[in-house]
Structures are given as structure tokens and as C-alpha cells.
Amino acid sequence: MGPDRLLEPFLIAADRTLNALFSRPHAARGSPSAELPEDDLVSAERAESAALMRVNHAGEVAAQALYHGQALGARSPETRTLLLQAAREESDHLAWCEGRLQELGSRPSLFMPLWYAGSFAIGAFAASFGDRASLGFVAETERQVEGHLQEHLDRLPMGDERSRSILRTMQADEVRHAAGARTAGAIELPWPVRLAMRYAARVMTGTAYWV
């Protein structure tokens, strides 16, 4: 195998990184909120919705990075295809969240490059333990994200149906991603790993809520 072929996966990964961080995300699917009327939110409610959607936007940046890092180290073409398909759907989520932030007059987290870089490294590290462990990481990540989205659905202002419709669709997708990983052979991760993932997510979400 020539040096060009050896470098190809890393060049593709670099291209995905640049697109994720510096290109406006494009959704293959229309936003779930597209047909809903704009919500009549007071200032405090708009601020709360914006903070929650900023957290979700940061989470989608991290999710893409995780999948890209895992795809780079995937052992089988089938696992790589599953990971990249999930990453494409996370790109839909990213576009929906960004659009909703604009509607709310807000912006994404200022730490997007940090969330991407850290998550990519974690994804690549998970892949180094083999495809079944990497898929186990997918299943556990999506299980935790499902719970996190439910928490946000409960916290959103009652009148914010546009944000709520987006999060419900995202939640259904995350459940499907987790099920797909388990079907593909995911193993259950040890509880210390699951606990560390939960605490790492809290750091990101707590920071992105404000910044």
C-alpha cells in the first residue's frame, strides 16, 4: 500500500473536521419545527430555551466528532458504515439546533473546537479497543443522550413547541442509533467507564449552557 493510501483516512478525517467546525450544517431532512408557528415567548423563556438549545448544539458537535473518531479506527467496513450513517443524522440535528438558536436570537457555544477535538480523541480511543467495544460506547452514549434530551424536554418553557418538536425527533433518532449498535454486536461497558462518560458530559453541558 502506497503512502497516499495510508494517508487517505486521515485526510478524510481532517476534511470532516473542517466541515463540522467551519461549514454551515445542512440537513438532509427538514426541521421537525418547520410547520409550527413561532412561539410567543417572554424574554426569560427565550433565554432559557436558547441556553438549552446551545447545550444540544454542542452535544451534536461532540456526537459528530465521536462518530468520526470511531469511524477512523473502525476495523470492519460494516462498523464504519454504521458510524458514518449515524454521523450524517447527527448533522441533521446540528442544523436543526443551529437554526433554532438563530430563531431565538442566540449563538452556539464558543468552545465548539474544544468539544470537537476532545470528542474526536475519545472516539478514536474507544475504537482502539475493537469494534464491539466501540459500538458499546455508541450504545451507552446514546442512552445517556436520550436521558439528557428528556431532561431538556421537561425543562423547556411550556410554550416552546418549536424546540420541543426538534428534541423529540432527535431523541427518537438516538434511541435508534443505540439499538443499531446493540444489534451490530455492542458490548456493555464497565460501570466505571459509564460513570466517567456521565461526568464528562456534565462538564460539557454545564459549560455550554452559559458559554
pLDDT at residue number 3: 46
Q: Where are the domains of the chain?
A: 40-210
Taking the domain 40-210, which CATH number applies? 1.20.1260.10
pLDDT at residue number 98: 95
pLDDT at residue number 155: 97
Q: Cα 159 vs. chain centroid, distance in angstroms?
A: 25
Look at the pTM and tell me if it is higher than 0.95. no
- Mean pLDDT by groups of 10 residues along the chain of 211 residues: 48 54 76 91 96 96 92 94 92 95 95 91 94 96 95 96 97 96 96 92 93 90
Nearest to 57 by CA among 121, 10, 9, 104: 104
Nearest to 17 by CA among 110, 127, 94, 117: 117
Dist. CA 197–CA 141, nearest whole Å: 8
